[in-house]
Amino acid sequence: MGKTLILYYSYEGHTEKVAQMFTSYLNADLKRIQPIHEMAQKGFGKYVWGGAMVVMKKEPELKPLGIDFSLYDTIWIGTPVWAWTFTPPILTLLKSDLIRDKHIVFFYTHDGGPGHIEKKFLSCLHPSNRMLGAIGFESIDEHPDQLATKMENFIQTLPESYRNNR
Ligand SMILES: Cc1cc2nc3c(=O)[nH]c(=O)nc-3n(C[C@H](O)[C@H](O)[C@H](O)COP(=O)(O)O)c2cc1C
């Protein structure tokens, strides 16, 4: 297998931290997905605004990624959980024609209510892709000591052919 790209969206840094740590374990490139118009809400307002984006199935326009996807055959996609599913920028990504014929690893951070995020992600992923694995991380600030072990253990569950070639 060829190169790995880790693509993630993060509003408040938790998913970014996980993405950066995975990058340090893998021989991977890292890229943050950013909507052109990021929400500005903090506190309770962010749940209302962000939740409404999810419910309305918004696909926000993204800043140019500047990525040559043909270089990668494995793409890790990371997101926070919003309203029991993945975030609107990830919906934009999945609905674009960029993620095709790839091996996919999905990861997400949440505060204890992931809902059926993995099922929803799969249902939006183009069928030409092949899932290698998925993992969620709950309240990472509360369990910082467990994070590295959990990540390393997860990498061991991925197909041997992938681990040997990364
Ligand atoms: C709009 C919004 C909706 C959220 N919905 C959920 C949810 O349904 N379940 C959950 O466990 N956490 C939910 N959260 C919490 C985030 O998933 C969690 O804090 C995550 O780690 C944040 O990642 P980030 O720092 O990378 O943005 C929500 C947060 C926001 C802002």
Query: Given the CA of residue 85, which atom of ligand 1 is nearest to it?
Result: 8
- Kindly give the number of the ligand 1 atom that is closest to the alpha carbon of 9: 26
In the chain, % of residues over pLDDT 90: 87
User: What does 105-161 look like in DSSP terms, one character per residue?
Assistant: EEEEEESS--TTHHHHHHHHS-TTSEEEEEEEEE-TTT-HHHHHHHHHHHHHHS-HH
Strands of the sheet with 28-32, listed across from one edge? 28-32, 3-8, 72-80, 103-110, 130-138
Ligand 1 pocket test target in 111, 140, 147 with most atoms within 8 Å of CB: 111
The mean pLDDT of the chain is 94
Average pLDDT score over residue span 112-133: 97
Confidence band (pLDDT; 50, 70, 90) for 143? confident
Residue 20 has pLDDT above 60, yes or no: yes
Rounded to the nearest whole angstrom, what is the distance from the C-alpha of residue 146 to the centroid of ligand 1? 20
Work out the average pLDDT over 112-141: 97
What's residue 2's pLDDT?
75
Pocket probe mutation, ligand 1, options 42, 82, 121, max atoms within 8 Å of Cβ: 82
Task: Give distance in angstroms: CA of 80 to centre of ligand 1.
Answer: 5
User: In 3-state terms, what secondary structure has residue 136?
Assistant: strand
Whether 166 has a pLDDT exceeding 70, the answer reads no
Higher-scoring residue by pLDDT: 145, 7: 7
Could you tell me which residues come within 8 angstroms of residue 164 by beta carbon, excluding any fewer than 6 positions away?
none
Angle at 136 between CA 149 and CA 111, to 5 degrees: 105
The residue with greater pLDDT, 145 or 102, is 102
Q: What mean pLDDT comes out for the span 28-52?
A: 93
Task: Check pLDDT > 80 for residue 164.
Answer: no
Provide the pLDDT for residue 1: 53
Q: Closest ligand 1 atom, CA of 139?
A: 21
CATH architecture of the domain with residue range 3-165:
3-Layer(aba) Sandwich (3.40)
Alpha carbon distance 139, 136 (integer Å):
10
Q: What is the pLDDT of residues 62-99, one digit of tens each?
A: 999 999 999 999 999 999 999 999 999 999 999 998 99
Q: How many residues does the chain have?
A: 166
The domain locations on the chain are 3-165
What residues form DSSP beta bridges with 136?
108
> From ligand 1's centre to the CA of 160, what distance in Å?
32
Over residues 137-150, mean pLDDT: 92
- As a three-state string, the secondary structure of 30-63 is EEECCECCCCCCCHHHHHHHHHHHHHCCCCCCEC
Q: Atom 22, ligand 1: which residue's CA is nearest? A: 80
Instruction: Report pLDDT for 162.
Output: 84
The two structure tokens encoding residue 166: 């990364």
